[in-house]
Amino acid sequence: MTYHYPNGKRYTIGTSPLSASNYKPKEKNWTYGKRGMTFEEDINETNQYYLDQGIAVIHKKPTPIQIVNVDYPKRSAAVIKEAYFKQASTTDYNGVYKGRYIDFEAKETKQQSSFPLRNFHEHQIVHMREVMNQKGICFVLLRFSLTEEVFYLETKKLLIFWDRMNNGGRKSITKEEIINNSLCIPLGFQPRIDYIKIIDTLYHLND
Amino acid sequence: MTYHYPNGKRYTIGTSPLSASNYKPKEKNWTYGKRGMTFEEDINETNQYYLDQGIAVIHKKPTPIQIVNVDYPKRSAAVIKEAYFKQASTTDYNGVYKGRYIDFEAKETKQQSSFPLRNFHEHQIVHMREVMNQKGICFVLLRFSLTEEVFYLETKKLLIFWDRMNNGGRKSITKEEIINNSLCIPLGFQPRIDYIKIIDTLYHLND
C-alpha cells in the first residue's frame, strides 16, 4: 500500500481495486495532521468536502429522539425538558450521487482480528435489504480503530456473514474475511475517506 | 375530477397527467374514512405503504436536536434534560425508488388563493438545488388544507417562483400558477398520497 501526499492530490487505488486482498498493514512512518478525529468526524468532513465540491450530496441523519416535555418560555427558544433516545429505523447516512441513491452505515471496533456483528442491529439489516431491493447503492464502512484501517463492505456481502451468524455460525467477521471481501479505503487528506471513488469503481459511474 | 373508490383500487390520473390544468375543485359529496389526519400522517402512512409493498423506501428524517444535558440514571434509560430544536439543513423526506434518489419537502397552507413562499427556508432551497445538480428526483408536495388538495411541484419550477421573489416579485405562488405548473394528487385510500405514480409519469420509470 502506498501512502498519499497530503496536498489534496487524489489517492490512486492500487492494482486490484475490486479486492482488498493485496492489502498489507501500513507502516506508520509518517505523521498525520488531524490524527485523533473520530470516525464520524472523518465521514462528516468527507461528506462536507463532497458537498462543497459538488461531487455528491450525502448527509448524516439526525439522531431520533422521543420528545416528552417541551417548555416554551416567553421571548426565547423552546426548551426540550424531557426526551429519550430512540433506536434508528434506518442507517445513519444517505444521499445522492449522480442520480443514484447512496445509503450506508459506519461502524468501528477496537478489536484487531475480527469485526463483531453485534455492532449492527436487526432493523438496520432489514433496512439495508430493503434498499438493496430498490437497487440503491448500499454498504458499510468498517473501521479498525487501533490500526485506523477503513474497509468498504457491500451490503450483499455483509448479509452473507449476518446470515451465517443466524444459522449458528460465528458472531463476527474475521479480519481475513474482511480483507478478502471488501475494499480498503486509504485515509486521505481531502477527502478523508474517499468512498465515492470506490463506488465509481464498483458501479462504473465514472466511465 | 373523478373520485376514487375506497377499496384500495389504484386511482387513474386523468387525461393530461403532465399538467393539473384540467383541475376542477372537487365536490365533497362523499364521506372520508380517516378525515382529520394531518398532512404529515398522510405522507408517513403513504411511505409505510410503499415500504410494506416493496414499492419504495422513503423515510422522514428525524427532527434535528441540539442536546445540551443528558442524565444517566442507574438501571434506566438515559434522559435528555435540556435540548433545543435545530433548523434542518435538508428537506424532510428522502429515500430510494428503482435505484433513483428521491427527495422532497411537504408544506401546507391555510390560504386559499396562493401558497406563501415563506413556508420554505433558504437552506432547504440550497439543498434542493444541490440535489438537482446530482440528478436526484426532487420536488415539493403542497397542500391547501381547507380544500385538502395536494399538488406535486417539481423543484425546478419552485425555483422559478423563488427566484422571482428574490428579484422583487410576489412572495407567493398563486393557486392558478400552481394548477398550471404542477400535478394534482388525488387523495387516495391506500396509498393516501400516491406521489410515486407521478414520478413514474414524469420520469418514465414504469416503461
Tell me if B79 and A78 make a contact (CB, 8 A cut-off): no
B103 close to B88: Cβ distance less than 8 angstroms? no
Sign of the four-CA dihedral B40, B44, B46, B47: positive
**Closest chain B residue to A130 measured between Cα atoms?**
B57
> Which position has the grid cell 459506519?
A106
Nearest CB to A65; choose among B57, B62, B96: B62
Q: Does B126 touch chain A (CB under 8 A)?
A: no
d(CA A148, CA A161): 22
> Which position has the grid cell 393516501?
B192
Q: Does B80 touch chain A (CB under 8 A)?
A: yes
Task: Profile chain B (207 residues) by mean pLDDT over runs of 10 residues.
Answer: 42 41 46 64 97 97 93 89 92 97 97 96 96 98 96 98 97 97 94 96 86
- For residue A94, give how far its alpha carbon lies from the nearest alpha carbon of chain B (Å): 8
Is residue B66 helix, strand or coil? strand
Question: What is the predicted pLDDT for the residue at A36?
Answer: 58
Below-50 pLDDT ranges, chain A = 1-19, 21-24, 26-34
Tell me if A65 and B61 make a contact (CB, 8 A cut-off): no
Tell me if A65 and B80 make a contact (CB, 8 A cut-off): yes
Beta strands in A26-120 (DSSP E): 57-60, 65-71, 79-85, 93-97, 100-109, 114-116
Q: What are phi and psi of A12, to 5 degrees?
A: -100, 125
Q: Does A85 touch chain B (CB under 8 A)?
A: yes
pTM of the model: 0.82
Interface with B, mutate which of A57, A104, A155 (most B CBs under 10 A): A57
Residue A38, Cβ neighbours under 10 Å: how many?
11
Q: Can you tell me the ipTM of this complex? A: 0.81
Tell me if B64 and A59 make a contact (CB, 8 A cut-off): no
Nearest CB to B101; choose among A65, A84, A101: A101
Q: Does B76 touch chain A (CB under 8 A)?
A: no
Q: Please give the C-alpha separations between residue A126 and each of A88, A129, A167, B26, B57, in angstroms, as whole numbers.
A: 12, 5, 17, 41, 11
The amino acid sitting at B147 is: T
Question: What is the predicted pLDDT for the residue at B161?
Answer: 98
> Which position has the grid cell 415563506?
B118
User: How buried is A63 (Cβ within 10 angstroms: 0-12 exposed, 13-18 middle, 19+ buried)?
Assistant: middle
